[in-house]
Amino acid sequence: MPRHIQEIQKTFPIKHNCIYLNNASIGPCSTDVTSAVNTFMTDVQENGRLNYAHWCQQADEVIKPRIARLLSVRPSEIAFVPNTTQGLSLVANGLDWRAGDNVIISSIEYPSNVYPWLNLQPRGVEVQSVEPYNGEICLDDFVNLMNSRTRLVSISSVQFSNGYRVDLEQLSDICQRRNVLLNIDAIQHIGALDFDVSQYHIDFLSAGGHKWLLSPIGTGIFYCRESSLNYLRPPTVGYHTVDKPLDHEDFSLDWRSGAARFEEALVNFPGLWGLNASIEILLELGMSSIETHILELTSLAIEGLSEKDYLIYSSTKPSERSGIVTFQHPTISASEIDSRLQQAGIHLGVRRGALRISPSLYNDADEITAFLSALP
C-alpha cells in the first residue's frame, strides 16, 4: 500500500535540523536512500565482486526500467551518467560537427549548458544565444536565429535562476519541422514536475540526481531518443561501450545496443542503488501529486512575498511555473537577508543577486509560513 506524503516526509532527517528550501542546489537524501547505498556497500564489504553480475543485471533490468517509467520512455533509451554536465558533453562531443555549423542556447543557461558549446568554437562551430525578456524566453527568437547550418538547440526546460519553464511542446515542434536536434538540460525539472518525455520530440536529455531527484551526488540520467541514436558517436570509449564487455581478447568496436553504449566503464553502483530508492518514492507518490504539492507550496510563498511587497522575478503563469521562486527585497540586499535567514535556521539560495527558494516533496506549508515570517 503506498505511503502518504506525510509518512514519506518523516524519512528526511534534515527536517529535524532546519528549514531547507534549496533543493534546486542540492537536495537531501531520505533514510530510504542512505539505507539502499549502505546495503550495496555492505555487499561489497562482505563479498567483493562475487555479485558483480547481479549488480549489472539490477542496473539494466530494474533501475533503468524504473527511470524509463518515470519519464515515459524506453529503458533502452537510458544511460547512467555522473551528472548533467557529462550528459550534455556526450552530445557536444558526440555529434559530427563541421566548421560553420551553429548551436543555439539562451543567455540565462547554467554554465553546464554553456561551456560544452563554447568548447566547440575552435572547431568552427558558432554559438548563438537568445536573450530573455523579463526572464521569459521567446521561442520566436530561436526561429529567427535558425538557418541551414543550425544543428542543435540546447536549453534548460526549467531555468535555474528564475524557474522559468519553457514551452517544450512548441519548441520541440519548431526544431522537428526545421530538422534541428533538441537537447534538454532537465535537472531543474525531473523530480519536481511531472514530465512525460514521450509527449515531445526531444532528441537528448540530461539530469543529475542530486537536486529534485533527492539522490546521491554522482548519479545522473542521460536519455537518447531511439531514432536519434545514430547521430551520436560515443566520445569516450571503454570496455562497457561495446557489446562484449567481458571479452578481453577480441577487440571488435561494436557498440552496445541503445543508449548503454554511452556508459564507458563501471557505473556508480552505490549511487544508483540510492537513485533507485529515491525514484521508488517518486513513483509511489506519483509525479502528478508531487507537482501539485510543490506548486501549492510555491503559490503560498508567492502570495506571502507579494503581501510583503517583495519583487518576484519568477513567472506566475501556470504554464511557466516550476518549483523555483526567485525574489528580491526592494531595498535590502539578497546576501543580507540570506544571512539573517541562516541564523534563523532557514536555508535557501542566492542566484544572480536575488533570493531563490525551491521546496520539494518533503517540505510542508508550515515551513513556508515560518520562512515568510522570518523575512524582513
**Residues 186-196: tens digit of each pLDDT:** 999 999 999 99
H helix runs in 149-268, sequence order? 168-177
- pLDDT over 90 percentage in the chain: 95
Examine the pLDDT at 91 and tell me if it is beyond 70: yes
> Residues 91, 119: contact at Cβ < 8 Å?
no
Q: Using CA atoms, how far apart are residues 266 and 116, in angstroms rounded to an integer?
A: 24
Q: Using CA atoms, how far apart are residues 90 and 236, in angstroms rounded to an integer?
A: 8
pTM of the complete model: 0.96
- pLDDT over 70 percentage in the chain: 100
Q: What local confidence, expressed as pLDDT, does residue 3 receive?
A: 83
Taking only the tens place, the pLDDT of each residue in 329-354 is 999 999 999 999 999 999 999 998 99
> Residues 285, 7: contact at Cβ < 8 Å?
no
Taking only the tens place, the pLDDT of each residue in 245-277 is 888 888 889 899 999 999 999 999 999 999 999
The superfamily CATH assigns to domain 5-28+286-374 is Aspartate Aminotransferase, domain 1 (3.90.1150.10)
Examine the pLDDT at 68 and tell me if it is beyond 80: yes
Work out the angle between the directed axes of helices 269-285 and 64-71 (0-180°, nearest 10): 40
Cell digits of residue 119? 568548447
Beta-ladder partners of 207: 221
Taking only the tens place, the pLDDT of each residue in 20-41 is 999 999 999 999 999 999 999 9
Examine the pLDDT at 14 and tell me if it is beyond 70: yes
Q: Using CA atoms, how far apart are residues 159 and 324, in angstroms rounded to an integer?
A: 9
Cell digits of residue 266? 563501471
Domains of the chain, by residue range, sit at 5-28+286-374, 37-283
pLDDT bracket for residue 212 (50, 70, 90): very high
Taking only the tens place, the pLDDT of each residue in 286-300 is 999 999 999 999 999
Q: Give the domain 37-283 fold.
A: Aspartate Aminotransferase; domain 2 (3.40.640)
pLDDT bracket for residue 1 (50, 70, 90): low
